[in-house]
Amino acid sequence: MADQTRLSKFLSLILRHRAQDFGLTLDADGFTDLDSVWAAVERCYPGCYIEADLQAVVAGDPTGKKRFEIVGDRIRARYGHTQVRTITYPPVEPPEYLYHGTHAKALDAIRGDGLKPMQRQYVHLSLSVEWAVMVGRRRTDAPVILRVRAGEAHRAGIEFYHPEPNHYLVEAVPPRFIDFDY
């Protein structure tokens, strides 16, 4: 079985950080030619992958996280670019509540400043407590779950985006929309 984690990391390298090193150019939205990306994969890992492996990586990991997307004959990384502007999505109306998993050390900063994207383009919010716990466990064994009053925030003018089934994105969430003692 092909190492899809290695393929995903390689695609991230190409599509987020070093496209030019592989003879690729990203457009303003982070897209580039899919066939050219596949050719780079075959050059760097000859015989290791088939196109079904690429499709599996694009389909998402076991947690439902989709890091890449294909539109027509173009591919892009959804988040984390160092070379293109923020990837945009159409705004949507969120559910009343969304959830965010974090670690206890971050709570003071979040109480003061709200949720910010830090080194990312967006704050990632989960549809369920279970998803927020899973996301929070990437950084700590004991995640703290915050409830975001997304519907209220949306009605106050904050835009939300929904590019994948289990997560919503937002540029920031002020502390007044966060339930810390949920």
Decide if 12 contacts 77 (C-beta within 8 A). yes
Closest Cα partner for 21 from 29, 13, 32? 13
Instruction: Write the pLDDT tens digit of every residue in 28-50.
Output: 888 899 999 999 999 999 999 99
Q: Residue 86 domain-assigned?
A: no
Residues 165 and 102 in one domain: yes
Looking at the fold, whether 53 and 119 belong to one and the same domain comes out as: no
Is the residue at 62 inside a domain?
yes
- 72 and 95 fall within a common domain: no
* Distance (Å, whole) CA 24 – CA 38: 11
How many helices (H) and strands (E) are present in the chain, helices listed first?
6, 10
With respect to residue 159, please indicate whether it lies within any of the assigned structural domains.
yes
Question: What would the pLDDT profile of 101-134 be if each residue is shown by its tens digit?
Answer: 999 999 999 999 999 988 777 899 999 999 899 8
Quote the pTM value: 0.66
Q: Is the dihedral of CA 118, 170, 178, 157 positive or negative?
A: positive
Tell me, what DSSP letter sits at residue 94?
Answer: P
pLDDT tens digits, 61-95: 766 678 898 999 999 988 765 655 567 788 999 99
Judged by DSSP in three states, 67 sits in coil
What stretches of the chain show up as alpha helix (H) in DSSP? 4-12, 34-44, 51-59, 107-113, 129-136, 150-155
Identify the domain containing residue 99 by its residue range.
91-179
Is 84 domain-assigned?
no
> What mean pLDDT, rounded, does the chain reach?
89
